[in-house]
Structure formats: structure tokens, C-alpha cells
Chain A
């Protein structure tokens, strides 16, 4: 990779020039091994000298001045030259946190994030090339380098920082809740895309328990979300257990050596399937993914309004569902019902033509047809 392009062009030009300088004085004749060795030595010495010079200059440079911007308990440290951009990012982040947590922002753990620009800033490219959030391997790039992460627009950067803060928030919560959410404390508002993804999972997953949940059996939703009885028997039917073991044999070598797995997958012995899944719990996944489980937290916090996050943090000794219900300030069953309604309502608009859409198109066809008939082409101009 040669980046940025201007440097790439310069390096290539220098390489071509070097070749010309070497070849032309010698008239294109082959050089002897001794001459070649001498030349390489001289070049190596030159490289060493230049490297030492560069290091000396870097040490002599004054330390970069940092500005600190506060967003609740989050401190954004940033070099002065990009201060105005990071101020815009901070404003967006503040809005996002206020929308999600209202007054509970103060409950977040202190987070220090150092945002540093990377790459050359030239007159032709005055914006940020790259913005690094130090220590968390979070990078943002200019629009032309990536369609999804834009370093020169505050919104996506603020959204990325929110992801970092969410991950840091897990230290505040009981490990059971944190594990249930797979360490992503999704306290921000439920987006349309997230709700649609949850809908797709609910509509597509072939497991019986998920189908039941989709069809409105809320007790089964509770189990599918891993909030009720959690066992091999509750989550999967006998056929599904066999399917899980059969699939797991493809990636878990230990199952290939376990005779019970053979009995389960080939012989269809359900006792063997249960024994295998209990012996290797890592091959058994919750029926609904962490992303869908996180949608329940988001809906609980949304329902609970002001103070919901605080109630969640304070009820970390309760079971997961009770903690969520406390945060939402509604009974557990109502919370599950509310989640189910919200997710089903997020069904993506499909190809099924709506009556209104069809009629509108038809009306436009008629209108345009009538307009054509009223044309006055008899008069040629």
C-alpha cells in the first residue's frame, strides 16, 4: 500500500530518477561487484544519517498541546489544531447521551479518550485524514476511504465514541446482566436498523421456540431471550438438538471423537444429544442473538424514561428480567409484550404492493396519458 497518493508519486519518481542517475553515467554498462558493494554501503550510511537526523528533529519538537472537552463523565482530550472539530463531535455526543440517558449521564463511569489526528493535513486536504481514539483501536477515516466511517463529519465519529463508552460501561453492571448482553451495554436508543435486524432474526430463525415467539407466545419469547428457563430441553426440540450437534461436529474436533456425538448425529439418540450439549455448553447458543437481546434493554430504557438507567444500575442484584423490568418501570410480562410489539412493527417494507401505492401509480399513468392526448402536435412548433 502506498499512502497518501502524493507521497506515493514522489517515491516512485525518486526511484525512477535514481535508476536514471545510476544507469546514464555508466552508459548502461553493467557495474562490477565491488562498485556495487561500495554504492550500497554509501546508501546505507546515508540512510542511517537521515534516520538519526529525523529522530533528533522529532525529539527537539515541542510537546503537542492538548485541550480537554467534557461530556458528562467523558473527557475528550484532543490536540489544539483539531479542537473545533472535536468540539462539534462533543456536542453531538452530548445530545446522544442526553437523548439516551437524560439525567443519568452522570452515572456513567469516567472515560478518558484521546483523539489524535493522523496523516498529513495539507492545503488541498484541510480536513482530518484519520482520527484515532487512542487505546481502543477505533479509527475513523475520510469519506473517500470508507463509506461508513467518516472522520470529517462529526456525527459518525460521535456515534463511534458512543460505542466505545457503551463497552466501557459494562464495569458498572452485574456480571450476569453484562454477560447476557455480551458486554455491550446498549443504553442508546433503538434504531430502525437494529429493530429490523431483530425482526429478521425473529422471522427467519428456524428454531421452534423462535417461531412460537414470533407468533406471539410471550412465555416462549422470554425463554428465547434467555430470560427464563435456560436449558437444552427448553431451547431446542429433539430434531433441533440433533441438528445443533451435527453442525457443531464440523467445527469442534472434540465432538468428532466423542461417541455420544456420533450416536446423536447419526443414530438420532436424543439422550446422547442432551448429554453432548451439556458436556460442551459452548456449542449451544441462545436461540436469539445478543443484538436482539440488546434491543430489549434499549426498549426497557426507552420505556422507563428519566431515571431508567439509574434504576438498572441499582438493581444489578436482581435477575436479568427483573432488573430490566425495574428499569422500564413496568411488570416483566408487559415489558416482553412491549418488546414483541416494537419488533414486529419494525418489519421492513417489502415488495408487497400497497393498495395506496398501486392506485397512485395508476393515477399517474392516467394523468400522463391524458396529458399526452392534450398535446398539440398538429401545430408542429
Chain B
């Protein structure tokens, strides 16, 4: 059963996974393009750190994109076919969701592993100035966790009913409209910013995405 579900999910999102895998492998190698200076000075080291920091913005975006791709495609056919296939299976709901989730995780593992290999290759290729270190394993682990969070979030939203999605959207809409009305009435309190801050700082779900994703750092 798991194999069949995995195969169907691979059919739906295989091309995306391949592209994401290539991107994940290439990203660390692109990151260390400037790390080839022989006998680097400390100014070269600063320039390298700056370049690595520029590239570091791409990692959370890629993790988010992969999570988005897999989280939504996992349920797209079920939605389109009114969940008839799921209803025909002699499985409780939780079991079916677990199979879909597990298949998604297996597919997600491919770009994660590709990024890990890419990071290790990049770290071995780079000529790193003294005082700096490479962090291929930590970076790969962080990427994996971020992609997992993004996938789980999108998977949970897609698994819900239209009503649940409606509730979520309504809450967001009410907050936005409330803030707008409050601002128009002359209020200076900002409701959105603290909520956003809560989401992106510990222990918020997106804390893993923010900060420095440095393959090379002090």
C-alpha cells in the first residue's frame, strides 16, 4: 500500500523533486565560488563571509519551495477526485494520512540528501581562510528541518477541509482588516508586527528559517 502511494506521489511531483534536488546540490557549490583565493588575507575572508551571507538567503527559500511543492501535490489529486480513492480503501483516516505523509517524507529526503552531498563537496573544494570553518552537516540538518516544517505545514493545511481553510483565511483576514480599521481610526498599535515576530522567533514555527544559514562562518 505504502509503495503504491509513494509511486503515485512520485508521478505527481517527480519532476519538481528532480529540479529541487539539482538546485539543492548546486546551491552550496555556488555559495563557495569566492572561496578559491590562494593565501587569503583577512579582507578576502570578510569578502567571502559577505558572499556566503548573500547566498545564505537562498537556503530557506529553497526549503520553503520544496515543502510547498510536496505539501500541496500530496493532496491535489484527492481534492480533484473528491476523495473517492481514499474512501474506497479499507483504512482509517489517520492511517491514510500517515501513508501520504510518509511518502512525502521519503520524497523530501532526496533534496535533503542532495544538499548534504553538495555541502560536503563544496566544503572540501573551498579554500577556507584561517579562523573560518565550514558547517556542511549543520547546514544540511537545518535545511532538512526547515523543509520538514514547511512540508508539514502545507500538508496539514492541504489535508484539511475547505471549511478549515476558510477558518484559517478568515482569521488572517479579520486581523488584517482589524489592523486597517484601527490604523484608519488613528490608532498607533501595530497588531500584525508582533504576531509576525512571534511566528519567526523562538518558539515560533518559522524560527528555523530566519538567521544566518552560513556554510562558512567563524
A69 at the interface (CB under 8 A from B): no
- Nearest-neighbor residue (CB-CB) of B152 within chain A: A368
Nearest Cβ in chain A — how far from B160, in angstroms?
5
- Choose among A348, A351, A375, A380 the residue with the greatest number of B CB atoms under 10 Å from its CB: A351
- Choose among A349, A371, A373, A376 the residue with the greatest number of B CB atoms under 10 Å from its CB: A373
A212 at the interface (CB under 8 A from B): no
B78 at the interface (CB under 8 A from A): yes
Stretch of B14-22, B143-151, B170-178, B181-189 at the chain-chain interface: B143-151
Q: Judge whether B93 and A373 touch: CB under 8 Å.
A: yes
Distance A310 CA – B174 CA, assembled complex (angstroms): 56
Q: Judge whether A368 and B141 touch: CB under 8 Å.
A: no
Chain A residues closer than 8 Å to B214, beta-carbon distance = 350-351
Q: In residues 109-152 of chain B, which contact A (Cβ within 8 Å)?
A: 129-132, 135, 138-139, 141-142, 145-146, 148-149, 152
B25 at the interface (CB under 8 A from A): no
B207 at the interface (CB under 8 A from A): yes
Distance A360 CA – B130 CA, assembled complex (angstroms): 33
Chain B residues closer than 8 Å to A349, beta-carbon distance = 211-212
Q: In residues 39-91 of chain B, which contact A (Cβ within 8 Å)?
A: 41-42, 45-46, 49, 56, 78, 82-83, 86-87
Interface size on A, residues (CB 8 A): 39
Q: Judge whether A377 and B83 touch: CB under 8 Å.
A: yes
Q: Judge whether B207 and A348 touch: CB under 8 Å.
A: no
Distance A380 CA – B86 CA, assembled complex (angstroms): 11
Distance A381 CA – B203 CA, assembled complex (angstroms): 33
Q: Judge whether B218 and A372 touch: CB under 8 Å.
A: no
- Nearest-neighbor residue (CB-CB) of B213 within chain A: A351
- Nearest-neighbor residue (CB-CB) of B95 within chain A: A373
- Which one of A347, A364, A380 contacts B83 once the chains associate, using CB atoms below 8 Å? A380
**A372/B155 contact (C-beta < 8 A), A205-B42, A206-B42, A380-B83 known:** yes
Map CB proximity to B onto A186-218 as digits: 1 under 8 Å, 0 otherwise: 000000000000011101111000010010000
Q: In residues 79-121 of chain A, which contact B (Cβ within 8 Å)?
A: none
A353 at the interface (CB under 8 A from B): yes
Nearest Cβ in chain B — how far from A116, in angstroms?
31
Distance A247 CA – B43 CA, assembled complex (angstroms): 13
- Nearest-neighbor residue (CB-CB) of B142 within chain A: A353
Q: Judge whether A375 and B49 touch: CB under 8 Å.
A: no
Map CB proximity to B onto A313-354 as digits: 1 under 8 Å, 0 otherwise: 000000000000000000000000000000000011111110
Q: Judge whether B139 and A364 touch: CB under 8 Å.
A: no
- Choose among A247, A357, A372, A378 the residue with the greatest number of B CB atoms under 10 Å from its CB: A372
Chain A residues closer than 8 Å to B129, beta-carbon distance = 204, 206
Q: In residues 192-216 of chain B, which contact A (Cβ within 8 Å)?
A: 202-203, 205, 207-208, 211-215
Number of A-B contacts (CB under 8 A): 136
**A203/B138 contact (C-beta < 8 A), A353-B145, A361-B148, A379-B161 known:** no
A4 at the interface (CB under 8 A from B): no
Distance A211 CA – B131 CA, assembled complex (angstroms): 8
Distance A205 CA – B160 CA, assembled complex (angstroms): 54
Chain B residues closer than 8 Å to A25, beta-carbon distance = none
**A351/B164 contact (C-beta < 8 A), A200-B46, A369-B152, A378-B93 known:** no
Chain A residues closer than 8 Å to B56, beta-carbon distance = 351
Nearest Cβ in chain B — how far from A69, in angstroms?
26
B180 at the interface (CB under 8 A from A): no
B163 at the interface (CB under 8 A from A): yes
- Which one of B93, B145, B215 contacts A361 once the chains associate, using CB atoms below 8 Å? B145
Distance A373 CA – B149 CA, assembled complex (angstroms): 16
Q: Judge whether B152 and A348 touch: CB under 8 Å.
A: no
Q: Can you list 10 A-B pairs with a CB-CB distance of less than 8 A?
A: A206-B129, A214-B131, A350-B212, A350-B217, A361-B205, A368-B152, A378-B83, A380-B161, A381-B162, A381-B163
List 4 additional contacts besides A200-B218, A375-B156, A377-B160; criterion CB under 8 Å.
A357-B208, A368-B152, A373-B101, A377-B159
Chain A residues with a Cβ under 8 A of chain B: 199-201, 203-206, 211, 214, 247, 347-353, 356-358, 360-365, 368-369, 371-381
